[in-house]
């Protein structure tokens, strides 16, 4: 299957479909400005490495790599719900698209030297057991000076449906205890570590313990200022009304068997999303696209 996909979508020196961890198919993108890995499982970006900056994404050394299990790190796609499913405690956290294999639709080179790879997945009989709606989800990953991500959902059914979505980006940092998050000052957030109580962010966000905050009504650019690595990791959003910031800290990390001891210090999630009060309603035949552009500033 990998060889056939490489024949169909490979671009010599730019795009190769290879066997990744766990024997899973992954797309390796190489451009003058950066490289990236995207697994077909969940269409999950697991690496983005701009030349001169080093790896931007965190990937757990203990991650599973198997269909049906989420990869711990990179950029999981959460859809059509976020966290637990409100009406079904047995449903997988963060929806069902991050644990299934997506299709590659196209791989193309841009005039600016970037490469775009398009993936898609559709609801089917399996997903219908969890979520009785029909949709086509497409994901465009553009690798170059920046990392462009566009998630678009088309309602292919006859009736409207509501969905949540998140690009659950795990940023790699030198030490999360020496990180500041800029861009959320003054924003209202729901603190999931405190019963989703509504609070207001004063100043830049500094982490001194577990954080699981959903910032509401903010389209603002979010910057993770990684003092230890001397770089800033930037996320600019379009059509995303919420931003989630998460780190489990030492206690929370102990409950994550697919996170090695101490790795919680090397990661912070900052997530372009539409969740909770920003759930998206999509009428029949409508399409909604959310995008995020990740870049590194010195
Ligand atoms: O994005 C933050 C969050 O919703 C946290 O509540 C925590 O559950 C995290 O996602 C990890 O979720 P996962 O299912 O990937 O372990």
pLDDT single digits (tens) 50-76 = 999 999 999 999 999 999 999 999 999
Residue 238 pLDDT exceeds 80? yes
- Distance, in Å, from the CA atom of 142 to the CA atom of 12, rounded to the nearest integer, reads 17
The tokens 């979010």 sit on which residue? 222
Average pLDDT of the residues in 83-101 = 97
Ligand 1 atom 10: residue of nearest CA: 83
Query: What percentage of residues in the chain have a pLDDT greater than 90?
Result: 99
Contact 235, 292 (CB under 8 A): yes
Average pLDDT of the residues in 229-249 = 98
Give the model's pLDDT for residue 96: 98
Average pLDDT of the residues in 20-49 = 98
Which of 149, 109, 110 minimizes the C-alpha distance to 11? 109
Q: Tell me, using a 6 A CB cutoff, whether residue 64 lines ligand 1.
A: no
Q: Tell me, using a 6 A CB cutoff, whether residue 85 lines ligand 1.
A: no
Average pLDDT of the residues in 262-268 = 98
Residues linked to residue 39 through DSSP beta bridges, in sequence order: 26, 44
pLDDT tier, 133 (very low <50, low <70, confident <90, very high otherwise): very high
Q: Which residues are catalytic?
A: 168, 271
Residue 14 pLDDT exceeds 90? yes
Chain-centroid distance of CA 248 in Å reads: 17
Mean pLDDT for all residues in the chain? 98
B/e letters for 144-166, b = 16+ CB within 10 Å, e = fewer, are bbbbbbbbbbbbebeeebebbbb
Q: Tell me, using a 6 A CB cutoff, whether residue 275 lines ligand 1.
A: no
Asked if residue 80 has a cis previous peptide bond (ω within 30° of 0), the answer is yes
Residue 235 pLDDT exceeds 90? yes
Contact 216, 277 (CB under 8 A): yes
- Distance, in Å, from the CA atom of 265 to the CA atom of 173, rounded to the nearest integer, reads 8
pLDDT digits (tens, 9 = 90+) for 176-189: 999 999 999 999 99
Among 98, 246, 269, 276, which is best to mutate for testing ligand 1, by the most ligand atoms less than 8 A from CB? 246
Contact 142, 116 (CB under 8 A): yes
Q: Tell me, using a 6 A CB cutoff, whether residue 168 lines ligand 1.
A: yes
H runs (alpha helix) in the chain: 2-9, 125-130, 249-253
Contact 283, 160 (CB under 8 A): yes
- Starting at the earlier edge strand, list the strands of the sheet with 287-297: 103-109, 115-122, 135-143, 147-155, 287-297, 231-238, 222-226, 179-182, 205-206
Average pLDDT of the residues in 32-42 = 98
Give the model's pLDDT for residue 298: 77
Which of 219, 211, 222 minimizes the C-alpha distance to 245? 211
Average pLDDT of the residues in 10-26 = 98
pTM of the model: 0.98
CA angle centred on 47, ends 42 and 51, rounded to 5°:
150
Give the model's pLDDT for residue 11: 98
The helix (H) or strand (E) run that includes residue 242 is: strand 242-247
């Amino acid at each position: 299957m990998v060889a056939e996909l490489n024949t169909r979508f490979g671009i010599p020196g730019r795009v190769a479909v290879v066997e990744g961890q766990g024997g899973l198919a992954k797309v390796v993108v190489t451009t003058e400005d950066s490289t990236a890995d995207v697994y077909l499982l969940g269409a999950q970006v697991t690496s983005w490495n701009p030349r001169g900056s080093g790896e931007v994404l965190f990937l757990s050394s203990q991650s599973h790599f198997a269909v049906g299990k989420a990869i711990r790190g990179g950029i999981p796609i959460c859809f059509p719900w976020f966290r637990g499913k409100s009406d079904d405690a047995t449903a997988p956290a963060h929806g069902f698209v991050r644990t299934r294999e997506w299709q590659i639709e196209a791989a193309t080179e841009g005039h600016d030297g970037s490469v775009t790879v398009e993936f898609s997945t559709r609801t089917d009989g399996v997903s219908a057991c969890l979520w009785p709606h029909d949709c086509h989800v497409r994901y465009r990953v553009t690798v170059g000076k920046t990392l462009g991500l566009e998630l678009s959902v088309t309602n292919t059914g006859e009736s409207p449906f509501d969905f949540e979505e998140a690009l659950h980006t795990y940023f790699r940092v030198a030490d999360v205890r020496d990180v500041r998050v800029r861009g959320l000052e003054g924003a209202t957030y729901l603190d999931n570590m405190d019963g989703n109580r509504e609070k207001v962010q004063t100043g830049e966000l500094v982490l001194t313990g577990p954080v699981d905050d959903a910032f509401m009504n903010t389209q603002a650019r979010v910057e993770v200022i990684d003092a230890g690595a001397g770089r800033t990791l930037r996320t600019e959003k379009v059509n995303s009304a919420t931003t989630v910031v998460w780190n489990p800290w030492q206690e929370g990390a102990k409950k994550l068997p697919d996170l090695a001891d101490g790795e919680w210090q090397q990661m912070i999630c900052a997530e372009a999303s539409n969740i909770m009060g920003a759930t998206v309603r999509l009428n029949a035949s409508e399409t909604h696209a959310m995008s995020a552009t990740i870049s590194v500033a010195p």
